[in-house]
Amino acid sequence: MNRPRKKESELNKLKEEISILKKEIAELKESAIRYKTLFESANDAIFVMEDDRFIDCNQKAAEMFGCRREDLIGETPYEKFSPPFQPDGQPSQKKALQKIKAAFKGQPQFFPWTHCRLDGSLFETEVSLSLIEIGAKKSLLAIVRDVSARKRAESALRRAQEHYQELFTQIPIGLYSTTPEGEILDVNPALIDMLGFPDKKSFMKIKSFDVYVDPQERETLKARLEKDGVVYGYQVRFKHRDGRVLWVKLTTRAIRDNEGKIIRYEGAIEDITQQKKSEEALKQSEAFLENVLYSIQDGISVLDPDLTIVMTNQVMEKWYTSNLPLVGKKCFEAYHNRNQPCHPCPSLRCLESGRTEKEIVPGLKGSPVEWIELFSYPLKNPITGKIEGVVEFVRDITPRKKAEELIQKSLKEKEILLQEIHHRVKNNLQIIISLLRLQASSEKDNRLINMFRECQNRIKAMAFVHEKLYQSRDFTRVDFTQYIHDFAQELSTAFGVKKKGIKLKTELEEVELDINRAIPCGLIFNELLTNAIQHAFPGGRAGEIIVRLHREEQEQISLEVWDSGVGLPADFDLEVPKTLGLMLIKSLTAQINGQLAIGTGEGTSFKIVFPG
């Protein structure tokens, strides 16, 4: 009776154990599925190792090593899939076995490792080894993470940091980082040197507002940074360590935390002290030039190559008030009310030639400036030499033109008057000559007749000068060459030279004399030629007379009368002249500061040399 109950109890217990076992098997299957899912979906390569060889791996491992799973199973991590040596110089096999041995002793391992793919290409990894038990068997779980991309990023970041640090150190512009409260976080050598500190340590001891000449300027900068986040080209005065004031230009940005609070300022500082000095010098120079420009009492106008007015002084504005503003207009529009350039235009010529040009042109119609004298000077680029414009210097010459017109009118009147005087003097001398001719015609004494004739010729010599002046455009000088030629013909005709068989020749250069020398020279020539005609060829002898007029050295003029006649009397003595003619020659030669020379070689020569 008890046996059936006992069997039933055992049966129920067995059923319960079977149910529990089924449940455990189901849980194990579910756990295996989860393990397999995790194993295959992991983003890292996962290996299961017995001793030093792979016995299993996930698909990511095959992808990472560029092969099939079958290529990995049964392989060691240090033979086919590692280079012979690691970056630290250790052999891959030795180092791998050390790490595997330690892991089997229950010491988890985590280390960097250089693997190689099936094609031999290297890549950087991080490897973790940990001991696991599958059943009663101990194995290793190896997780391999490809860190090549991270290593490249780290390398690029490191290079960027090194490059930044080099720039930070070497750049000639000051760089800084400060807190809003003024604590200096960092500065570069350029800023340390700029403000005269011996080293970074001493610089870091001060507050940023200590370098401002006016600390309020820092507060203004902070307010702008709070509002805009960045400020460009903020010009402010800094104090050098030796007390000098420097002008600097700041470019600064505000760095905020995640809550939007400013935690520091970063920026660059450029020393513009020299630039400020140059700007100030330029301002002073421009002010000085402007004062000079506006103090000149003549007009100044600056044109570009297109004849557009770019600058004028107040004189031009005063003269051309009706056409204001002048700047921006073409010069021919503003100054002449024309729609095209004037002709002649000295400024156009100046642009073409590159030289200073000058012209006298009419002023603006209706303006009190009726005539202007215009000088155009080229504006050249000192580096390229290219003409970049023209400076017109304009002078009002209206009073001068009116004065010149009056002078010309007066000169014309005086010329007419002087011409009339010469004409009347010549006529009066002709009357005297005629009177002497009448008187000579009534005389029977040959000696007196010759005296009258000599007087006539002397007066005629003077009258001839006035006749030449009357015919000349210049009443101050006589064309003495023409005078000699014409008067020689006159005397030749009067004495009948051709009939006497005497040849008269002239060798004349161009010579002009003022009236103060022309009259005495004319009288001397009259005496010399008359004497040669009358006395050199007695008894009807034939011969030759040559008249020479030349310019000699040292601005001297020579007048010579040479004849081929009988020569001078034996008792001839120039120092003791016996005739009025010789006395006149000697006296008049001294009057014009001349020298008289007599030659008696081949023929007879009287030569006078006097200053030209």
Percentage above 70 pLDDT, the chain:
84
Inform me whether the pLDDT recorded for 72 exceeds 60: yes
Q: How would residue 245 be classed by pLDDT, with cut points 50, 70 and 90?
A: very high
Inform me whether the pLDDT recorded for 26 exceeds 70: no
Q: How would residue 433 be classed by pLDDT, with cut points 50, 70 and 90?
A: low
Looking at residue 283, its pLDDT comes to 87
Cβ atoms within 10 Å of 47's Cβ, excluding its own? 23
Looking at residue 332, its pLDDT comes to 87
Looking at residue 233, its pLDDT comes to 92
> Per-residue pLDDT averaged across 103-120, rounded?
94
Inform me whether the pLDDT recorded for 467 exceeds 90: no
Q: How would residue 586 be classed by pLDDT, with cut points 50, 70 and 90?
A: confident
Looking at residue 430, its pLDDT comes to 65
Looking at residue 41, its pLDDT comes to 77
Inform me whether the pLDDT recorded for 310 exceeds 70: yes
Looking at residue 86, its pLDDT comes to 95
> Per-residue pLDDT averaged across 573-589, rounded?
79
- Average pLDDT of the chain, as a whole number: 83
Which carries the bigger pLDDT value, residue 237 or residue 443? 237
> Per-residue pLDDT averaged across 154-168, rounded?
79
Looking at residue 130, its pLDDT comes to 93
Looking at residue 333, its pLDDT comes to 87
Looking at residue 57, its pLDDT comes to 93
Inform me whether the pLDDT recorded for 33 exceeds 80: no
Looking at residue 579, its pLDDT comes to 78
527-577: pLDDT as tens digits: 888 888 888 888 888 899 999 999 988 789 999 999 998 888 877 777 777
Looking at residue 452, its pLDDT comes to 67
Please enumerate, as own/partner, the contacts of 238-243 that have beta carbons within 8 Å and a separation of 24 or more: 238/195, 238/211, 238/212, 238/213, 238/269, 239/195, 239/210, 239/211, 239/212, 239/213, 240/195, 240/196, 241/195, 241/196, 241/197, 242/196
Inform me whether the pLDDT recorded for 462 exceeds 90: no
**What Rg value do the Cα atoms of the chain yield, rounded?**
62
Inform me whether the pLDDT recorded for 419 exceeds 60: no
Buried b (16+ CB within 10 A) or exposed e, 375-409: bbbbbeeeeeeebebbbbbbbbbeeebeeeeeeee
Choose the weakest-confidence range: 54-58, 167-171, 180-184, 335-339: 167-171
> Per-residue pLDDT averaged across 325-330, rounded?
89
Inform me whether the pLDDT recorded for 84 exceeds 90: yes
Helix (H, G, I), strand (E, B) or coil at 234: strand
Inform me whether the pLDDT recorded for 456 exceeds 80: no
Q: Structure tokens of 345?
A: 């235009």
473-520: pLDDT as tens digits: 565 677 888 888 888 888 788 778 888 889 999 999 998 888 788 878
Q: How would residue 121 be classed by pLDDT, with cut points 50, 70 and 90?
A: very high
Comparing CA positions, the residue from 264, 258, 236, 271 lying closest to residue 176 is: 264
Inform me whether the pLDDT recorded for 368 exceeds 70: yes
Which carries the bigger pLDDT value, residue 113 or residue 576? 113
465 to each of 321, 416, 471, how far by Cα in Å? 58, 17, 10
Looking at residue 199, its pLDDT comes to 93
What CA–CA distance (Å, rounded) separates 596 from 524? Answer: 11
Looking at residue 201, its pLDDT comes to 92
